Amino acid sequence: MLNEHTFTRVDGTTATLEEYRGQAWLIVNTASKCGLTPQFEGLEQLHQTYRDQGLVVLGFPCNQFAEQDPGTDEEIQEFCQINYGVTFPVFSKIEVNGEQTHPLFAELKAAAPNADDTTEVEWNFTKFLVTRDGEVTRFSPKTNPTDLTAAIERLLVRV
């Protein structure tokens, strides 16, 4: 079950998605030195627009794709806040593919495979939109966060 997985906050404390129970989640593997890094701006815009309606954006830095997030957790957090004004939760770095895949991403990938039925995360900024009921939809790294507005609004009206 998605809300049972544990992960680490930047301050070293442990968290679970249980803290966000009753909300819809937009879970994204992020990177601070990627051509798609400006998507932080759109992710923050979604967070600001929909957080009071029940959406939480959750960022999970990952250094698996061309080593595009090499910094420490603290450096990544500072980069996100200074350059993009990020206020949504950004957690410690994880792996999203391979033997060390974080269990949260293993479950997300299994629930929402790629169009060709493969499950690997293809690149930074793959997005998983999770309904309050646990239904998962995957969006391509190239999908601009603001292009998710209609999908988010549809799922937020469902109670």
* Catalytic residue, candidates 34, 62, 96, 152: 34
The gap between the terminal CA atoms of the chain, to the nearest Å, is: 20
Pairwise CA distance, residues 116 & 42, whole Å: 27
Examine the residue annotation and report whether 34 is marked as an active-site residue of this protein: yes
Mention every residue, 6+ apart, whose C-beta is less than 8 A from residue 26: 43, 46, 55, 56, 57, 58, 127, 128, 129, 130, 145, 148, 152
Q: Which among 130, 132, 88 has a CA at the least distance from the CA of 105?
A: 130
Residue 65 in tokens: 């794709």
Compute the 3-state secondary structure of the chain and give helix, strand, coil in percent, each to the nearest 5.
35, 20, 45
Catalytic residues: 34
